[in-house]
Structure 1
Amino acid sequence: MENKKGFADRFDWTLAFIILLFLIISLFAISSAQTTGQYGPTNFVFKQLFWYGVGVIIISMTMFFEPEQYKKLSWVIYGIGVFLLFMLFILPGSLDIVAERNNAKSWFHLPFGIGSIQPAEFMKTFYILGLARLITKHNENHLMKTVKTDFILLGKIALVLIVPLAFILKQPDLGTALVFLAITIALIIVAGITWKIILPIFMGSIVTGGTLLYFALYQQDFLTNTFGFKGYQFARIYSWLDPYSYASDEGMHLITSLNAIGSGEIFGKGYGERIVYVPENHTDFIFAVIGEEYGFVGASIVVSLYFLLIFHLTKITLQLKDAYSTYVCAGIIAMITFHVFENIGMTIQLLPITGIPLPFISYGGSSLMGNMLAIGLVFSMKFHHRTYMFAKNEDD
């Protein structure tokens, strides 16, 4: 016997309210950011509101399908994402259909002057769907787990990861590549792979990362000659550790961000009362605007709202009964968490600058639509989640 519920009972009003709060914060922050004069007559508030409207449509369409349907279509959706990344790779940048920014070929031009779209933002969610399907199927086929079966699963995950990761690194887009790695690590842990395998891999990754950082700081010629690293890649590390020595170049963004957030002090300067000029403050550095205008209190409220979002998503995940939906929601939580941690971290010198936007607040059509697609999946998992009072009879 199935416990029937109406739309109002099944719809997640709390999650919808949280997204509404992010919309309000985003519009206020972008409205102030665009007054610096660096963007000309473009009104990003209206454009952001338009993309939010598109995002609501995406959520509505996503909720229409049940988790089981997404499970069946996972590889098709994953394949579509890979195909789009492949087209970016093979199409010449001289074509009008391909947009190139900051030496990265990552966007398609949309018709009718709407703007551009970044396939990698959607590929994150497509990848989560494919990876969740892979882990679910593997665990169903290997109910008795062993070290061997866990190694096989890791091999499968690596194959699914390497394809989109290679195209994204080729663009190049290191920030998005790190998001894929964060999603992968989270789902490896949730998948139940033994720590006998995970711990040595993680320790090896830490040692490798530390070794690369050492060579980047003290043995640059070795990395350049052996692995083909470029000078600007080293500059990003140096400007992160010592931005004031690179104030005229790579360190400028970080210095202005630190000055803006620091000058906000406890309560901020108030809406539109900014003094510090921060480039790209409506996109990747929107948190600097919030920190300067609303101070520590305003910034803390924004961070707390993200904690509330992640807590609520985690609560939903723990309520779900089927493994596939659980893995999908876990991947989405990892994606959003990494975005928030990296974006805020890079504005306060906690992490290197990678160009990752702040979810639901930074201006950007592709980023916002990609995140709304992910949230739409959570809405779908929650909306179509069923509770059975008794075992369901297939003959009924």
Structure 2
Amino acid sequence: MTPNRNTSKIDFTLVLILMLLSLASLVAIYSANSSFVIKQVVFYVIGTAIIAGIMQLDSDQLKKLSWYLYGFGLVLLLLLIVAPSSIAREINGAKSWFTLPGFSLQPSEFVKVFLILTLSKIIVDHQEKHISKTTQSDFLLLLKIGGITFVPLLLVMQQPDLGTSLVLIAIMVGMIFISGISWKIITPIFGGGITLATGVLYMVIWHPEWLKKYLGVQEYQFGRIYSWLDPYNYQSSTGYHLTQSLLAIGSGQTTGKGIGTSEVVLPENHTDFIFSVVGEEFGFIGASVIISLFFLLIYHITKVALETKNSFYTCICVGVISMITFHVFQNIGMTVGVLPITGIPLPFISYGGSSLLGNMLAIGLIFSIRFHYKKYMFSSDE
């Protein structure tokens, strides 16, 4: 059927959601530290240009680029490890950034999106090759997904960057669920993983001496868990950020104290703890607005995934959903004490060029999906 030329190829609903997120970001950053607002505007402009470029690429072109981008991301991570401190200095104990004149770059923020593309291609190619599924083919696909994720995961852990490592794992888990691998294989693997994590947490709390004796874990490495479980006993050290965050959010009550009236001193309040600023200055209502915007974003991407008939596009949507959902859940969770602090920014809201541009790149993929498949929305074929 002839494409419907009267149908818009631009996803204006997604445009609106992104505009509202950008507005919320600028207001929150202005409240936290007004000196970063202009830079955030510049990052949003650059991100918009990235979206415009990505929109031009269809599924075949994205597939062809996936391995090149994946390889490029690994090269950047490797260079980061061997780079001298003059261009890759440690920040907060992690060597995660290239620090160059005029700008800084965190490669792992882009590697997350490259991983989504590569895993999507692997899953689709495997499904096309193994039309009749078997236990052996499912195990093979699981090994492919795990292997492709493990390489960047290992490099990111070398920095070390626990937060990004967890995001890569979250992306992998989401892609495994959409891959078509039998639940007979998935269930025991994830069941075992949950049991192991529960066991480790149990030993950290009740028998830390076992971990010290048999695994060589040092005392200071327990600090982040202990300060999460009982932050007020560690208020002068590892629990400082959490206690201040709880105080800020709690003091905002229902409507907040008003823009630019923060009273609680909180380091990194324009980046990782931007949600604490929102809670203090705009209260429960402001925090609810932010959460609602993310809900609308995730809902919309889910809708795109369900509407498209292209398996590659569906996998991309699931990867982006997994990445953004984990970021939001982890960031907000750590600011209210539900989860340990891992240094993950709040997508589209926190200040940060690499984080924002990485997320805009991911959203660009969603715009690309809508841009290309809506041309044939009344056709029986993809």
Q: What corresponds to 1:355 in structure 2? A: 343
Q: Does 1:59 align with 2:51?
A: yes
Deviation at 1:372, TM superposition (A): 0.2
Assess if the C-alpha contact under 8 Å between 2:123 and 2:179 holds in 1: yes
Q: For 1:110, which of 70, 95, 100 is the aligned residue? A: 100
Structure 2 unaligned blocks of 5 or more: none
Q: Does 1:243 align with 2:242?
A: no
Q: Does 1:140 align with 2:146?
A: no
Assess if the C-alpha contact under 8 Å between 1:2 and 1:387 holds in 2: no
Deviation at 1:92, TM superposition (A): 3.2
Q: For 2:67, which of 44, 69, 75 is the aligned residue? A: 75
TM-score for the superposition, normalised by structure 1: 0.93
Paired residue total: 380
Distance in 2 separating the partners of 1:207 and 1:122: 31
Q: What corresponds to 1:296 in structure 2? A: 284
Q: What corresponds to 1:4 in structure 2? A: 4
Deviation at 1:13, TM superposition (A): 0.6
SS of alignment partner, residue 267 of structure 2: coil
Q: Does 1:21 align with 2:27?
A: no
Distance in 2 separating the partners of 1:44 and 1:51: 11
Deviation at 1:232, TM superposition (A): 3.3
Deviation at 1:222, TM superposition (A): 3.1
Question: Once structures 1 and 2 are overlaid, which stretch shifts more, 23-32 or 381-390?
Answer: 381-390
Structure 1 unaligned blocks of 5 or more: 36-42
SS of alignment partner, residue 99 of structure 1: coil
Distance in 1 separating the partners of 2:234 and 2:322: 33
Q: For 1:205, which of 179, 193, 197 is the aligned residue? A: 193
Deviation at 1:225, TM superposition (A): 4.2
Task: Please show how residues 300-315 of structure 1 align to structure 2 within 5 Å.
Answer: 300-315=288-303
TM-score for the superposition, normalised by structure 2: 0.96
Assess if the C-alpha contact under 8 Å between 2:119 and 2:148 holds in 1: yes
Deviation at 1:274, TM superposition (A): 1.8
Q: What corresponds to 1:39 in structure 2? A: none
Deviation at 1:328, TM superposition (A): 0.8
Q: For 2:202, which of 214, 218, 223 is the aligned residue? A: 214
Aligned CA RMSD, in angstroms, stands at 1.4
Q: Which amino acid aligns with 1:178?
A: L
Assess if the C-alpha contact under 8 Å between 1:240 and 1:349 holds in 2: yes
Q: Which amino acid aligns with 1:150?
A: D
Sequence identity (%)? 53
Q: Does 1:85 align with 2:94?
A: no
Q: What corresponds to 1:372 in structure 2? A: 360
Q: Does 1:323 align with 2:315?
A: no
Q: Which amino acid aligns with 1:116?
A: S
Q: Which amino acid aligns with 1:99?
A: R
Q: For 1:339, which of 327, 330, 351 is the aligned residue? A: 327
TM-aligned CA distance change 1:251 to 1:199, over 3 Å: same
Distance in 2 separating the partners of 1:313 and 1:100: 36
Q: For 1:256, which of 222, 244, 250 is the aligned residue? A: 244
TM-aligned CA distance change 1:16 to 1:390, over 3 Å: closer
TM-aligned CA distance change 1:381 to 1:389, over 3 Å: closer
Assess if the C-alpha contact under 8 Å between 1:2 and 1:390 holds in 2: no
Distance in 2 separating the partners of 1:180 and 1:328: 14
